[in-house]
Amino acid sequence: MNYFVFLVGVILLLATAADLINTSLSGRGAGFISKRLSKSIWNILLILTKKTGRRKILDLGGAIILVSILINWLLLIWISASLLFISCPDSLMNVETNSPTTVINKIFYTGYTLSTLGLGDIEPEGNFWDILTAILSFTGLILISIAITYLIPVVSAEIMKRKISVHINTLGGSVEEILLNYWNGKDFKELEQPFISLIDSIILHAQNHKAYSVLHFFHSSDRKEAFVLNLTNLDEVLTVLLHNIPAEQGPSFNVLIRLRKAISSYLVTLPATFITPGKKTPPVLILTALENKGIKVISGEKVDLEYAKLKTRRRLLLSLIKDDGWEWADLNCGSYNHEINTSEPY
């Protein structure tokens, strides 16, 4: 027996099992292999589409990555199990010729065993290889079961994500539009109810995203359903209400903070998909449309300091948008102070 080949097969099999368990059963996101495979495929798709979020091919990204993860598990288990049989020339016998099998025969036999179909003309030689064959047969059955149980919650979570995105978009397609839609002439109190209804949904999505990080790669080329754009608009609305609008005119401070924390619970899951704050800070919104409606807008050094504290958060949102193939300008948020972006005071 070639113990080196056998050891490589065992290590590869254990690594694959660990990745499969961490990705599908642990609730902590993707394993080491699946995480990097997902990101690599997504980066290739972004290059092919020139990082244009409106390209329809990106809509297939999540499905492509999900299927690739499942195929990757199968191939790695197949390869590792084949190495175990290949390590011993007499591990399998051809019952028709009563002679040892070739490397191709062993690979073929392993594939059939994992598919739980079995192969009649090739049999394991010895108790150890009998047991290994039984284990591989169960492994194939388990892999199929996990694939099914993994697909269903991911699809359900993606539907929930789109529901949240559309819900936010119904409030308004931009920061100024949301605020103007809910200005009753005196205050923004009418935003409290839709904000409250969004809190639990966003927290649920944050937990889904933590458990199934492949959700990040489910993309919508329709701006109205683009989760990252609508969520960023919502977070920018909260920023304006917290720092640019007098407290007595805004929704309940408690509601604003709860919604802010709900969004934060999602943002903290982004490093698992290799998204971190970049070096460029998004520009600050110029609230001319609000002022034209007679809405009091607070500005000045104190507000600038508050925006400075949000530097990391807003940079992370910008990275999130770019990683989804969009640009900050795709937010349709109105006029921005682009001088902020070049001087980088934040």
Can you tell me the distance from the alpha carbon of 38 to that of 66, in angstroms, rounded to the nearest whole number? 8
| Dihedral pair phi/psi, residue 133, rounded to 5° | -60, -40
Give the β-pairing of 92-94 and 99-100: antiparallel
Q: Give yes or no for a contact between 162 and 220, defined as CB atoms under 8 angstroms apart.
A: yes
What is the pLDDT at residue 336? 54
Predicted confidence (pLDDT) at residue 305 exceeds the cutoff of 80: yes
User: Looking at per-residue confidence, does 340 or 269 come out higher?
Assistant: 269
What is the pLDDT at residue 90? 86
| Dihedral pair phi/psi, residue 193, rounded to 5° | -65, -50
What is the pLDDT averaged over residues 237-254?
96
Can you tell me the distance from the alpha carbon of 236 to that of 175, in angstroms, rounded to the nearest whole number? 7
What is the pLDDT at residue 343? 36
Per the prediction, the chain carries an average pLDDT of 89
Instruction: Please report the sign of the dihedral spanned by the C-alpha atoms of residue 95, residue 99, residue 100, residue 103.
Output: negative
Can you tell me the distance from the alpha carbon of 47 to that of 45, in angstroms, rounded to the nearest whole number? 5
What is the pLDDT at residue 306? 94
For residue 90, the SS3 value is coil
**96 pLDDT band (50/70/90 cuts)?**
confident
What is the pLDDT at residue 119? 59
Predicted confidence (pLDDT) at residue 335 exceeds the cutoff of 60: no
User: Per-residue pLDDT tens for 50-63?
Assistant: 989 989 999 999 99
For the ranges 230-234, 269-273, 331-335, the lowest mean pLDDT is seen at 331-335
What is the pLDDT at residue 84? 92
Can you tell me the distance from the alpha carbon of 200 to that of 267, in angstroms, rounded to the nearest whole number? 15
* Cross-sheet strand order for the sheet of 122-124: 99-100, 92-94, 122-124
Q: How many CB atoms lie within 10 A of CB 108?
A: 16
**326 pLDDT band (50/70/90 cuts)?**
very high
User: Per-residue pLDDT tens for 178-214?
Assistant: 999 999 999 999 999 999 999 999 999 999 999 998 9
User: Looking at per-residue confidence, does 144 or 277 come out higher?
Assistant: 277
Burial of 162: CB neighbours in 10 Å, binned 0-12, 13-18, 19+: middle
What is the pLDDT at residue 135? 86
Q: Could you give the C-alpha distances from 180 to 81, 98, 184, 285, 290, in angstroms and in order? A: 62, 83, 8, 14, 7
User: Per-residue pLDDT tens for 277-291?
Assistant: 999 999 988 898 899
What is the pLDDT at residue 337? 52
Instruction: Please report the sign of the dihedral spanned by the C-alpha atoms of residue 90, residue 96, residue 98, residue 103.
Output: negative
Can you tell me the distance from the alpha carbon of 238 to that of 241, in angstroms, rounded to the nearest whole number? 5
Q: Which amino acid is at 137?
A: S
For the ranges 31-45, 143-157, 246-260, the lowest mean pLDDT is seen at 143-157
User: Per-residue pLDDT tens for 14-53?
Assistant: 999 899 888 888 777 888 999 999 999 999 999 999 989 9
For residue 275, the SS3 value is coil
What is the pLDDT at residue 94? 81
Q: Give yes or no for a contact between 251 and 283, defined as CB atoms under 8 angstroms apart.
A: no
Q: Give yes or no for a contact between 166 and 229, defined as CB atoms under 8 angstroms apart.
A: no
What is the pLDDT at residue 230? 96
